[in-house]
A and B are shown apart, each in its own frame.
Chain A
C-alpha cells in the first residue's frame, strides 16, 4: 500500500491545493488576457479590481447573514456573487469612462494606458482599504470539509489522510462553469465573435461595422465578473487581505504571459502550470518520498526545494524561461 499512501499524501498536500489555486489563477489571468487582447494594455489594477470585487461580495454576504439568508452547506458568498459582480462592473465601466476612454479616443501608446492603470491601482487600493480596512477578513461559512482527513482514513484504511475542503471543490466547479460559459460566449454569440474579431484586427473589425465602444463595454463587464469570481474563490479558500490581492498580480501576470497574452486557453494553461510549480517546489516532499523509497534511502531533510516565501521566485523563473525561449508564450499570444 506504500505507493498508494504516497499518492494520497501527494494529492492531499500538492495536487488538490494546486488545482484549486490553479483555477483561481486561471480566472484571474483570463481577465488580464482579455484586457490585453481587446484594450491592448497590461492592467496593473487587476489585483486591486479583484480585491474590490471580493470586498463587494463580502459586504453583501454580511448583509445576507444579517437578514438570515444562507445557502445551507454552501458559503453565502456564492449568493452574493451576482451583486458583487454588478457593483464591480459599474466601477469598471465608470473607470473606463473617466480614465481610459480619453486615451482610447486619443489613440495613446500602450504604456500611457499602463501608467493610467497604475493610478487606477492606487485609487482602488485606497478605496478598498478605506471601506473595509487593511486587515484579514474571513467570510467563509457553511460546511468546512467535504471529506476530512479522519473520515478518509476510516473509509480507505490507509495511513495517510486526504482532506477535501468544500471551498476547493466549489472553486473547481465554479471555475469550470465560468470557463465553459466564457468560451461559449466568445465562440458562439454575436457579441463574443465581434470581441474576437476586434482583438484580431481592429481596423478590419471597424470596417465591418463593429461598434468598438460596445466591445469595450462587454469586455469590462466580463472582466468584472472574472475578477470578482476569482477574488471571491481565492478569499473563500484562503482569506481576504487587500495586500495579498495586490501581490497576486505577479503570479496572475506570469500565468497570462506564460500562456501567451491575449490567448484565453493560454491563460488557463498558464494558471495551472504556475500553480502546480509553485506548490510542488515549495512543499516539503519528505513524506511522499518516504513512502516510495526503501527505509535505508529515506531522505533526512524535508526535501523542500525552496522555502514557501520564495513562491514568487517560482512564477518568476518560469516566466523568464518561457519568455526567453518562446517570447510570445506557450499558446502564441500577440504583442503590441
Chain B
C-alpha cells in the first residue's frame, strides 16, 4: 500500500472510532444523529469541493443553496393548498412571470439598443417593478389571508418527498445559473462578496415571503420517506423483532428510523462519490484542473473558461441544494430563521479545507470529522471548563461565566483547527493527488 492509501485508511478508521466511541460512551441514538448529519455535511462538502477544489471558484453563499434545497422539499412534498391557490395563486404566478419578463426585456433592451440604452433599460426596470408589485401584492395578500395560523402559503405539489431531493438540487442549480451569469466574470474576491450577498437575499426572501413557505412561521411536519417510530412500535412484527434482539422496542424504533435515513443518505453519498471521482479522472476533470491552475494557458488551448466555470458552479450548487433538501427532510421542518452563514457556509468551508481541497475523499472525511467535532466540542468543552473551574469557589463570577459560555467554544475551536491545518498541512488531511 502506498503511504497515501495508508493515510486514507488510518484517517477514516479514526473517524469510525470516533463514531463508534460515541455510540458506546454516549448512546447509539446520539452517534447515529451525528452520523446522519455527517452524511449530509459530506455531500455539501463534495459540492463545495467541486467548485473550489476542481475549479478554484470561491463561493461563500453555500447557505443560500442549502436553503433553496429546503424550499424545494416544501414545494414538492407538502399537500397543495387549493383554497389559497384559488384565492391568489394566479396573481402570484402572473406577478412572478411579469417580474421575470421585465428582467429579460431589460437585458434585451440593453443588448439590442444603440442610443439611450441606459435610460430605456432603467425605465423598463422601473415601470416593470411597479407593475410586478401591483400584480403580485394583492395575490400575496389573498394567499396569506387563507387560514394564516396553520397555512397562509401556496403549499406544494403533494408528491413523494424523495422526489424533492433532485428538485431541491434543480432549484439551487437554477439560482446558480442566474448568479453565475452575472457574477462569474468577476474576480475571485468580488465573486465571494457577491455570493455572500446572494445567500443573505435568499434567506431574506424565505423569511419574508410567507406565501411561499410560511416564512419565519416555519413549515413543520413534512412527510417522511421512512416510517414513523410510533407506527413501528405499534406493529407486532417490529416488536417481536426487537424482543428477539433483546432490545427495548422504543429505543429500537428510534434507531431503526435513523438507520433507514442513514441508508438513504448513504446511497446518495456513494453515488455522488462515484460520479465525482469518475468526473475528476475523466478528460473533463483534467480540463477543469488545468483551467484552475492556469486560466490564461487553458484559454490559449481553446478552452472556454467562462462556460466551464458556469458549468461547475451550477453542478456544485446543485449538489449543495440536494444536500439541503435532504437536511430539511431529515429535520422534518423548514425553519428559515435558523440558517446562519457561520454554520451553513463557513463550517462547510472548514470541512473542505481541513479534508483537503481537490480531493473528494478528503471532503467526505472533512464532513464527518468536522461535523463530529462541531457537535462534540460542546460536551468536551463543558468537561474542560468543569476541570478548570473546579478549584474556584461556587458563586464566583468567573466560574459561572466560564460554564455558561461553553456553547461558544465551538466557533473558537473551528477557527483554530482551520488555521492550524492551513499553516501546517495546507493541502489538508488528504491532499489532492
> What's the least CB distance linking B205 to chain A, in Å?
8
Q: Interface residue count for A (Cβ, 8 Å)?
A: 49
Instruction: Give Cα A286 to B332, complex, Å.
Output: 42
Minimum CB distance partner of B196 in chain A: A250
**Do B190 and A114 touch (CB < 8 A)?**
no
**With A122-B414, A126-B411, A320-B183 in contact, do A315 and B58 touch (Cβ < 8 Å)?**
no
Residues B159-202 near A (CB distance < 8 A) = 182-183, 186-190, 192-194, 196-198, 200-201
**With A115-B422, A129-B405 in contact, do A323 and B186 touch (Cβ < 8 Å)?**
yes
Residues B182-240 near A (CB distance < 8 A) = 182-183, 186-190, 192-194, 196-198, 200-201, 204-205, 207-208
**Do A120 and B204 touch (CB < 8 A)?**
no
Interface presence of B408 (CB below 8 A): yes
> What's the least CB distance linking B187 to chain A, in Å?
6
Instruction: Give Cα A127 to B197, complex, Å.
Output: 25
Q: Contact flags (1/0) for A94-136 with B, using CB distance below 8 Å? A: 0000010010000000111011101111111111011101100
Chain A residues contacting B183 (CB-CB under 8 Å) are: 320
**Do A129 and B192 touch (CB < 8 A)?**
no
Q: Contact flags (1/0) for B391-433 with A, using CB distance below 8 Å? A: 0000000000000110011111111101100110010000000
Minimum CB distance partner of B197 in chain A: A316
Instruction: Give Cα A112 to B353, complex, Å.
Output: 11
Interface presence of A254 (CB below 8 A): yes
Chain B residues contacting A112 (CB-CB under 8 Å) are: 422, 426
Instruction: Determine which of B189, B192, B418 lies in contact with A122 in the assembled complex, contact meaning CB atoms within 8 Å.
Output: B418
Minimum CB distance partner of A242 in chain B: B408
**Do A126 and B412 touch (CB < 8 A)?**
yes
Instruction: Give Cα A133 to B403, complex, Å.
Output: 12
> What's the least CB distance linking A211 to chain B, in Å?
25
Chain A residues contacting B201 (CB-CB under 8 Å) are: 310, 312-313, 316
**Do B415 and A320 touch (CB < 8 A)?**
no
Interface presence of B349 (CB below 8 A): yes
Chain A residues contacting B422 (CB-CB under 8 Å) are: 112, 115-116, 119
Chain B residues contacting A246 (CB-CB under 8 Å) are: 341-342
**Do A123 and B189 touch (CB < 8 A)?**
no
Interface presence of B28 (CB below 8 A): no
> What's the least CB distance linking B64 to chain A, in Å?
11
Residues A133-158 near B (CB distance < 8 A) = 133-134
Interface presence of B339 (CB below 8 A): no
Interface presence of A295 (CB below 8 A): no
Interface presence of A244 (CB below 8 A): no
**Do A309 and B186 touch (CB < 8 A)?**
no
Interface presence of B12 (CB below 8 A): no
Residues A164-207 near B (CB distance < 8 A) = none
**Do B208 and A310 touch (CB < 8 A)?**
yes
Q: Contact flags (1/0) for B54-70 with A, using CB distance below 8 Å? A: 00101010000000000
Minimum CB distance partner of B416 in chain A: A123
Minimum CB distance partner of A328 in chain B: B187
Chain B residues contacting A125 (CB-CB under 8 Å) are: 342, 411, 415
Instruction: Give Cα A299 to B415, complex, Å.
Output: 51
> What's the least CB distance linking A285 to chain B, in Å?
13
**Do B415 and A119 touch (CB < 8 A)?**
yes
Q: Contact flags (1/0) for A294-321 with B, using CB distance below 8 Å? A: 0000000000010101101101100110
Chain B residues contacting A327 (CB-CB under 8 Å) are: 186-187
Give 30 pairs: A residue, B residue, CB < 8 Å, sorted on A. A41-B189, A42-B189, A112-B426, A114-B58, A122-B350, A122-B412, A122-B415, A123-B411, A123-B419, A125-B342, A125-B411, A126-B408, A129-B405, A130-B405, A133-B405, A134-B408, A246-B342, A250-B197, A254-B197, A261-B189, A310-B201, A310-B205, A313-B197, A315-B197, A316-B194, A316-B197, A316-B201, A319-B194, A324-B182, A327-B187
